Amino acid sequence: MLVKLRLLLGAVLLLLACGPQEKKKSDDPTVVAEALDEPVDLSVNAIGAFWTSQPLARTSSATGSGKPGALQFVAADGGDVRTLITGLNRPSAI
């Protein structure tokens, strides 16, 4: 299960890295995502869906769920939300 999750995360990150790039001018370098009304479904199989939901906030914690700007996973069976990556605005986060 962990291997599948890692492969799925790798595929999502690859899709995000290779996708169309828009150059946007922003006065706030910590904001790298637009606030969305609904989650963007990026799932590639039946185990769940990944999305970014809010502009990133400065945070030193990598735990918890529902943090702004976190890459989150929702189990397809309606299970709990686990925050996988927070603080993507920090250069050392990836």
80-91 pLDDT tens trace: 444 444 444 444
Residue 48 pLDDT greater than 60, yes or no: no
Kindly report whether the global pTM for this prediction surpasses the value 0.95. Answer: no
What residues have CB less than 8 Å from 69, skipping those under 6 apart? 32, 33, 52, 53, 54, 55, 56, 57, 86, 88, 89
Predicted pLDDT of residue 74: 53
More confident residue, 8 or 88: 8
**What is the pLDDT, as a whole number, of residue 57?**
45
Element at 15 (helix H, strand E):
helix 2-18
